[in-house]
Copies of this chain bind each other. A is one copy, B any other.
Amino acid sequence: MRVSVPRSANLPPTLRQLLSNPPTTQPAATSTTVQGWIKSIRAHKNVAFIEVSDGTTSDTLQAVLKGKGKDSGSPSLASSVEGLNVGTSIKINGRLQTSRGAGQACELLVDDLTVLGACDSSYPIQKKHLPPDVLRDHAHLRFRTSQIASTVRLRDTMMREWHDYFEDADYTFIHTPILTSSDCEGAGETFRVTTDPLPRLPTPPAGRESSSPAPHPTFFPNPAYLTVSSQLHLEAPTHAVSRTYTLSPTFRAEPSATSRHLAEFYMLEAEVAFVETLDELMSTVEDGIRGVLNGLLRGEKRRGARARDDLRIVESSLRQDREEKRSKEDVPMSVMVVEDIDPIDRLRQFADRSFVRITYTEAVTILQQQHDVRPFEHVPEWGASLQTEHEKYLAGEKFGAPVFVTNYPQSLKPFYMRLNDEGNSTTPSPTVACFDLLVPGIGELVGGSLREERLLLLERAIEHAGLEKKSYDWYLDLRRYGSVKHGGWGMGWERFVCWVTGVGNIRDVVAFPRWKGNCRY
């Protein structure tokens, strides 16, 4: 792809780099230095095994520390391992050799060992498996567990795969604004941004007269909010460079603190000009998702093999969570179904097969048939939103595959979605050219639509939605000057990471999650 330039030649090799070039002689002819943190330690009488990680790979290195004879003048093994605990950072020199132990490619015969930073027994991240809620209370330290480190690396890798997908298809990445004076959806709980001082306590201080504080000069002339979606802003450059995308933070002051919602989350959003049909648009989404999955499942060493190792580590940790929960709650095995499916097999079925495509109207019919057999909590009705239970049923039990549900009633969707031609339609009320992509285990993963490119219909939709036309004047300009058929979509990034990794709680795929009542750190 580009000219090879020596990169970071000055930094010592990482563990990933060292392990990807195993020694050719046994042990290696030259000495190697490794720095990292101790993951575990087993000290015997004459030999100690120290498992070291630097987090650049899920592989750890086994350092072998041998005792010296009493008369050698060297310190005894016992004194060498004193003060070495899980979490201690160390620097070791020695010679690499191919390991005879199972599961490890290499081990290091230690010549000398230096403690960089001690770690006493108050360290909360011990070798023992910790449940996710305990780890959440130590968000700043939980990166040091194998499962969270793997999740972090996977999130990184997925981002790179998407960047490659978009580059290959000539999309331009745009940094859309976070501060905005408009509210994309015309709804939703938004955060407001201010430079006003914190409101004072109502009690006036003793000896002072109570008086209103002097009005603070506002930073922006209009109220400013945190963006809830980059879409409208992304449409503007799309009318110049044809294909755009962003991976940008979005915010909702969502009062429900569930495993599916965050106050701050990332959205992967794309817009494409000259897309004429919803099917074309859905194919870009399907191509993207299946391409990224294939990158993880079939990519080579650098990304692919590491990703597969990481997927297996996350899965093994989730299995342990499930088992511990079951044993604590004393649930018999038969009641709580534990899906022990290899994560690679689980993803391969999505990567290999076409996604299902049905209309909203067909979906409602399917749900009503099922409702007669085994009632849902919410009755499925034409004109009503699909509930999470409906979405999970369609993508799970019914199709067992990602499902695009298309052409929802206009009344359920935001103003900018393209109105379908009513000519051949048999639906009770007008529909729009949109889709939700539902995936097994998650429900809604992506939402997208053709955008209304016809000026008059868009103006009418804005009025109909009770929005102020003046605020959308710039957006209408895109239809006044060289309007083109176009469409786009948005994917909850954390939901995608959850879906791929199998992690059940969105708070566990974000470095420092924020939700109602929590903005620690």
Give residues in A with beta carbon < 8 Å to B.
1-3, 5-12, 14, 16-17, 35-38, 54-56, 87-89, 91, 116-120, 122-123, 125, 139-141, 143-144, 148-149, 152-153, 155-156, 159-161, 163-165, 167-170, 172-182, 189, 191-196, 198-199, 202, 212, 219-224, 226, 233, 236-237, 239-243, 249, 251, 253, 263-264, 266, 272-275, 280, 283-284, 287-288, 290-291, 294-295, 298-300, 302-304, 453, 474-475, 477-485, 510-512, 514, 516-521
Contact = CB atoms under 8 A, between A and B. Distances in A.
A179 B263 contact: yes
Contacts of A181: 519-521
Contacts of A140: 236, 474-475, 477-478
Contacts of A10: 280, 283-284, 287
Contacts of A266: 175
A14 B169 CA distance: 8
Contact of A482 (B88, B272, B302): B88
Given A5-B294, A175-B266, A193 B195 contact: no
Nearest to A172: B156
B474 A170 contact: no
Contacts of A198: 192, 223
Contact of A241 (B152, B237, B475): B152
A182 to B, nearest CB: 7
A195 B189 contact: yes
Nearest to A297: B3
Contact of A518 (B89, B220, B275, B481): B220
B264 A177 contact: yes
A478 B142 CA distance: 11
29 contacts: A1-B1, A5-B294, A7-B291, A8-B288, A16-B170, A35-B484, A54-B274, A89-B482, A116-B482, A116-B485, A117-B482, A117-B483, A119-B480, A123-B481, A123-B482, A140-B475, A141-B236, A144-B482, A152-B172, A153-B241, A155-B173, A156-B172, A175-B511, A189-B195, A192-B198, A193-B193, A193-B194, A222-B519, A474-B521
Nearest to A164: B2
Nearest to A124: B481
A191 B194 contact: yes
Contact of A170 (B56, B179, B299): B56
A243 B122 CA distance: 26
A255 to B, nearest CB: 8
Contacts of A139: 236
Given A12-B274, A89-B483, A143-B239, 5 more contacts: A2-B164, A16-B170, A192-B193, A219-B517, A221-B519
Given A152-B241, A242-B14, A179 B519 contact: yes
A256 B11 CA distance: 39
Contacts of A512: 176-177, 233
Given A1-B302, A143-B236, A143-B241, A163 B161 contact: no
A174 B16 CA distance: 19
Given A280-B10, A521-B233, A481 B182 contact: no
A226 B226 CA distance: 10
A363 B133 CA distance: 52
A144 B239 contact: yes
B481 A5 contact: no
B152 A174 contact: yes
Given A152-B174, A236-B143, A284-B10, A193 B191 contact: yes
A263 B212 CA distance: 28
A280 to B, nearest CB: 6
Nearest to A123: B481
A153 B3 CA distance: 19
A348 to B, nearest CB: 13
Contacts of A199: 196
